[in-house]
Amino acid sequence: MSATTKPQTKATSFDAEALRADFPALQQDIYDDTPLVYLDNAATSQTPTAVIDRLEHFHSRENSNVHRGVHRLSQDATDEYESARESIATFIDAPNPEQVIFTRGTTEGLNLISSTFGELVVDEGDEILLTEMEHHSNIVPWQMLAEQVGAEIRVLPVSDRGELEMDRLGEFLTDDTALVAVTHVSNTLGTINPVGDLIDSAHAQDVPVVLDGAQSAPHMPVDVQALDADFFVFSGHKMFGPTGIGILYGKREHLEAMPPYHGGGDMIDEVSFEKSTYDGLPHKFEAGTPHIAGVVGLGTAAEYMMDLNWDAVQAHEDDVLAYATEQVQAIDGLRIVGTAPEKTSVLSFVFEDIHPYDAGTFLDRLGIAVRTGHHCTQPLVERYGLPGTIRASFAAYNTREDADRLVEGLRCVKQMLGDS
Ligand code: PLP
């Protein structure tokens, strides 16, 4: 399979029930025969048998170090590792697998960029433009950089219904802006941001854009070349892959100009006590023994996703989200947070008289897994004057029946914990 041509989708339709059968964790009963309803996919999605089997096969037949052994197992592990890189390059339409760097996840990708590229392009007095809906991992690394070099953080506001205030972009994207870092999809609101417009505006001023794709890669086909983002980062564990493994894609000219992030084995060309020289892409950014099993498992997850018919998957996910939204908003005393028309897979809400934590704990006893709190977007929930939200987040294997169980659970929560 060429690394630059997306494969034809093999499936012609989409059957969520059939997909669900691929995920052993979804088949379990918890708390005395209560079937699990898993609605915490924005945090971590479940793992299909294909990925579980691939990890098992790696550990039982291929486990070895990469890029350094002459023996058969090491060569096999290296082949599988590099072949996973090709699969990921195909998955995001990267022009070349060398531009796909393995990281521990979105957080490490963003830290890598801020510590290397950030230091190249952000100077004293410059501005770094973020948005009010960023995850902490797309705030804190930039704050650390800003503190170090004497730059300023600017924040594009979010409207009441959870959209970026794009009509105010001119106030925030100024002659001093050195870099923009923005999430493609909000993990708390589900809003799909108009990143094409943002990237065009930033590029018109020669400002590079870092896209946090943690919540978009699991829910939509991503084409990094069409997006024209300078960087795109995401995590394996939110897209049916293993934890502790993620991807940083970057434009070649940036990656080549950036210094290494970590020093050590596998990232060097030659080492002496006087001076060391570095390897080329992608190894320059992959010091030490990587998470080889994670890489191989993530490659399988990407292949698994590419085998799905994404038009049909998206139609299904939109249907489940719309259905759940309609049912949930009919519950007395409940308010949805994040009502942008362009949304995917996330339904956040609050009860006027019940703390999110109490509601989440109660739902858990009914076998319904949701997330409560600020979802690592503290400035965003504070902007809405909330202590946090209850967040149900869906994946392709969730169904209207899951939404029904959620609504049933929320009605119980209201009845048992509400004031009236
Ligand atoms: N960015 C967004 C939008 C997220 O939703 C998350 C995780 O929830 C992250 C970044 C951080 O991802 P990770 O913890 O996998 O590094």
Q: Could you tell me the distance, in angstroms and rounded to a whole number, from the CA of residue 241 to the centre of ligand 1?
A: 14
pLDDT of residue 83: 98
Please report the atom of ligand 1 found closest to the CA of residue 187. 5
Residue at token pair 């945090």: 43
Mean pLDDT of 24-29: 97
CATH 3.40.640.10 fits 53-306, yes or no: yes
Domain boundaries, the chain: 8-47+309-417, 53-306
Given a cut of 60, is residue 15 above it in pLDDT? yes
pTM for the predicted model, two decimal places: 0.96
Statement: residue 10 has pLDDT above 90: no
How far lies 37's CA from each of 43, 61, 239, 405, in Å?
15, 34, 18, 8
Confidence of residue 12 (pLDDT cuts 50, 70, 90): low
pLDDT score for 2? 33
* CA nearest ligand 1 atom 14, residue: 107
Least confident segment among 10-19, 61-70, 135-144, 261-270: 10-19
CATH of the domain spanning 8-47+309-417: 3.90.1150.10
Helices 292-306, 49-57: inter-axial angle, 10-degree rounding = 150
Using an 8 Å Cβ cutoff, are 105 and 246 in contact?
Answer: yes
pLDDT, mean of residues 404-413: 98
Q: Is the pLDDT of residue 3 over 70?
A: no
- pLDDT(5) > 70: no
pLDDT higher than 80, residue 342: yes
Task: Tell me if residue 316 falls in helix, strand or coil.
Answer: helix
Mutate to test the pocket of ligand 1, among 41, 106, 211, 240 (most ligand atoms within 8 A of CB): 106
Residue whose C-alpha is closest to residue 30's, from 367, 272, 263: 367
Residue 13, pLDDT score = 74
Cβ 183 under 6 angstroms from ligand 1? yes
pLDDT at 69 over 90: no
- The residue from 287, 376, 410, 413 that is catalytic is 376
